[in-house]
Homo-oligomer: A and B are copies of this chain.
Amino acid sequence: MHMTKANLELLFKPKSIAIYGVSKDTNKIGFTIFSNLLASQFPGKIYPINPKYGELFGYKCFPNAVAVPEAVDLAIMAIPAQFALEVIADCAAKHVPNLVIISAGFKEVGPEGKALEDEVYKRAAEAGINVLGPNCLGLIVAQSKMNASFAANVIYPGNIAFGSQSGAVCSALLDMAGDSGLGFSDFVSLGNKGSINENDLLEIWLNSEAIKVIGLYLEEFVDGLDFVSSKVRLGKEKPIVVLNPGTSEAARSAMSSHTGSLAGSTAVIDAALAKNGISQVDTVSQAYNLLMAYSWLPLPAGKRVGIVTNAGGPGIIASDIVSAAGLEVAKLSSETEAALSTGLPATANIHNPVDIVGDAPAARYFHGLSVLLNSQDVDAILLILTPQLVTEIEDTAKLIVTLSKQSSKPIFPVFMGARYVQGGARRLLDNKLPVFTDIDDAVIALKHMHNYTKYLADKAKVSSLESFKQERRQQRLSEGELFAALAVDQLVPLSEAKVQELLTEFGIPFPASTVADNADAAVSFWQNLSQNLSQPGSQGASQPIVIKATTEDIVHKTEFKAIYTNINSEQELRDKFATLQAALREHTHKEQPQILLQQQVKAEEELFIGLKRDGASNVYNSEGRGFGHILLFGKGGIYTEVYQDIAKDLLPLSEEQLQNLISQTKVSQIIDGARGLKPLPRNALVDVLTKLQKLVITYPELAEIDINPVMLTASECLVVDAKLFVRG
C-alpha cells in the first residue's frame, strides 16, 4: 500500500537547486545539466557544488551543500557512483529533501553496485531524502521552467506528464514532441527507482490540476494493487497510458532486473490495467499517438466511427481497420445521408465510408465533416486525405481546425503521403490537433480512447477492493493445521481432505468423495453411494465411480496413468484399486498410498477455473505489494491447453463482471445453448466463482487454485478436480 513521501512536491517546484559535478569541462554531464537549467530559464537559485572552484561561469561555487547559505530544495548528483554515500551524508546534514542521482554504476553493473545502491536507499530513507534514480536522465518540469536533465531538447509546455524507466524512451519521445509541438508538463526519468517510483509520480500527477493525461514506460510494477487503485484512492480520474514490454520470453530474458516468473504476471498486468481503465500500448509510437490524442481531443462518446475520404480505396482499408479494432463503421440514418447528398456530387458515396471523390475541394470536406459532426449516428470521425491533383490540402487543414473548435466529437485526421501533405499536417499540429500518416495509427488511438470512455461509464459498477476485503470471513475455520506447511518460495499442495474441508466451508459443491488406503473402505464408499443415489432416472441400480491418485501424490505428473473412470462393479473396483495402489507405491515409496474415490458425474460441458496470486500472502494488507489474485475461467478437460479459451480478470469481480468474464470465452456459447443445444445453469457457475473469490480473500495464503474440470451438468456446477496450493 502507498506511503506518501514527505516534501516530494519540492522535487517538481524547487526554489533552489544544488548540482554536484559542475566543472569547467563542458563535456561533463554536470555541466550539461547546469546549462540546461540556465537555458530553461529556471527562476530559482542554482548552486554548483565543487570543492575545486570558488566560482563557475559567474555562479558562486560551494565545496558541499552544507556550505550553501540558504535552503536547498533539490540536489542533483552527476559525479561518479563511488561518491554517493558522501553526497547522501552532505544532503542529510543540509536537510535537502530531494536528490536526483544521475550517475550510473549501481545495481545495473553487478552485486557490488547493488550493495552500494541498497545502502544509498537505506541512508536516504533514514535522513528523509527522496531519491530519483540512480542511473537516470533527470527530470523536466515545464511549469517550473526547469530542465534538470541532460536531455537538451526543447520542451513545449502542455498537459501531459511522462515517467519512464528507460531514458532512451524519454529521449525518443522528447525528439518526437519537439518535432510536432506536443506539449508536456513533466518528464521524469525514473532510472532504478528504488526510492521514488511510479506510484509516487501517480500521486503527484493525479493531484495536479495542470495535468490531463499521464504516460508511463515501466519494466515492472513496484506495487501493482497500489498502482491500479491510485485513481480510486485519491478520488481523481485521468487517462493513464502504460507501455510495459516483456510479454515474450525473449524480452523477459532481456530484462535482467526481473526475478521470478513473469509469465503469470503478464496475464495479471493485462487484466489489472484493463479493469482499471488504464490504456496499455505496445510501442513507443503508440504511446506517443495516444498521449497526443488524449491531450488534444475530446473523448468519443461511443464506438461509431464516421469516415470521410477523398478516395474509395483508403475508405475500404479504413473500414477493415475500424472493424478489426472492435469499433463500428457507423450506419448512417437516411436523414444524415440526405444531408450529405445535398452538398456532394452524384459520384460521391453517401454511405459510410463517405467518399467525397478524388476531385474534392476543401468545401466538400467542409460539408461532409459538418454533416457527420452534427449527426446523431457518429461518435468520432476519421478524416482521410490523399494528395490528388485538385486536393486543397492546407485549406482542408484549416477547416478541420475551425470545425474541431465547434464540436465535442474527436476528429482523427489522416493525411496520407509525405511531402505534399506536410504543410497541412503542420497547420493541424500548430493548432493542437493530431495528424496521422497511417489509418491504423489513428484507429489504435481511437480504440484506446473508446475503451476508456466505456470504463468511465461502467466504473460505478466495479466492486472496490475495500468492499471485497469486507467479504473476508472473520473466523478462518480451517486456519490452524491448514497452513502449517506455508513456505515463502514454494507452492505447497493441500491434501484432498483439506481441499474438501475448504470447499465445504464455503459451500462450493463437489461430488461425493472420499480417500481410502484399502479396498474394503473403497467398496463400502461405493456401496453407500449406490444406495443413496439409486433412484429413477439415475444410471441404473449402481452408481459408477472414478478412482484416482491424490493431489499430493501426483501433482505435476500428468503423464502418469493415475485415473480410472466408470467403475461399476465391486470386482472392477477391487482390481483397479489394487493396480493403482501398486503403481503409486512404486511412484511415491509410501506403503499404503491413499486413493481418491469420487462419484462419477456426467457433464454437459467441462470447464476450467484457476486463481493465481501476484505478490506474497500479505498482498491485501497495508504492507503488501503486488496485484493480488486473478481469476481465470474457460474451457476445461483435454481441450484446456489446446484451445486456451480462457478469460482473465483481477479480483474482486462483481456478479455482473463475472457474467462478463464468462461471456468473453467461446465456450460460453455452448453454456448459453449454441446451435439449439440446451442452455446450461450459468448462474450455478457464477455462484461457484463468487464463492471461490471469498475463499481466497479469506485465505490469501492460497497462491494458486487449479480446478479442471469443473463440470456443468444439466442442473448443477460441480468442482470435480480441485488442486489448491499455498505459499507465504
Contact = CB atoms under 8 A, between A and B. Distances in A.
A245 B676 contact: no
Interface stretch (A195-203, A432-440, A590-598): A432-440
A675 B558 contact: yes
A316 B388 contact: no
B311 A167 contact: yes
Given A347-B108, A675-B558, A314 B643 contact: no
Interface in A32-85: 32
Nearest to A113: B347
Interface string A281-320: 0111100000000000000000000000011111111011
A630 interface: no
Contacts of A256: 349
Interface stretch (A322-330, A470-478, A615-623): A322-330
A302 to B, nearest CB: 16
A559 B677 CA distance: 9
A175 B675 contact: no
Given A358-B167, A418-B176, A254 B315 contact: yes
B643 A254 contact: no
Contacts of A358: 167-168
A206 to B, nearest CB: 24
Given A282-B440, A311-B166, A418-B175, A316 B389 contact: no
Contacts of A108: 347
A675 B165 contact: no
Given A168-B358, A178-B418, A313 B387 contact: no
A351 B347 CA distance: 59
Contacts of A575: none
**Range of interface residues on chain A?**
35 or more
B675 A171 contact: no
A669 interface: yes
Nearest to A328: B250
Interface in A103-151: 104, 108-109, 150-151
A389 B32 contact: yes
B417 A171 contact: yes
A284 B317 contact: yes
A339 interface: no
A388 B168 contact: yes
A317 to B, nearest CB: 4
A321 interface: yes
B179 A418 contact: yes
Contacts of A416: 168, 171-172, 175, 284
A558 B418 CA distance: 54
A386 interface: yes
A316 B245 contact: yes
Given A246-B316, A666-B642, A150 B254 contact: no
A393 to B, nearest CB: 10
Contact of A179 (B151, B248, B419, B677): B419
Contacts of A716: none
- How many copies the complex holds: the figure is 2
A219 interface: yes
B151 A389 contact: yes
B167 A250 contact: no
Nearest to A676: B559
Interface in A676-692: 676-677
Contacts of A316: 219, 245-246, 251, 254-255
A319 B179 contact: no
Contact of A312 (B254, B321, B388): B254
A319 B169 contact: no
A715 interface: no
Interface string A231-262: 00000000000010111111101111000000
A541 interface: no
A667 B638 contact: no
Given A178-B418, A219-B313, A248-B329, 15 more contacts: A165-B313, A166-B313, A168-B310, A176-B417, A178-B420, A219-B316, A245-B320, A250-B320, A250-B323, A250-B329, A251-B320, A254-B353, A282-B321, A642-B670, A643-B643
22 contacts: A166-B312, A168-B310, A168-B312, A172-B387, A174-B417, A176-B418, A246-B316, A248-B322, A250-B352, A250-B353, A251-B316, A251-B317, A254-B349, A255-B316, A282-B321, A283-B317, A284-B416, A558-B676, A638-B674, A639-B670, A642-B670, A643-B666
Interface of A: 29, 32, 104, 108-109, 150-153, 164-169, 171-172, 174-176, 178-180, 217, 219, 243, 245-251, 253-256, 282-285, 310-317, 319-324, 328-329, 346-347, 349, 351-353, 355, 358, 386-389, 416-421, 437-440, 558-559, 561, 638-639, 641-643, 645, 666-667, 669-670, 674-677
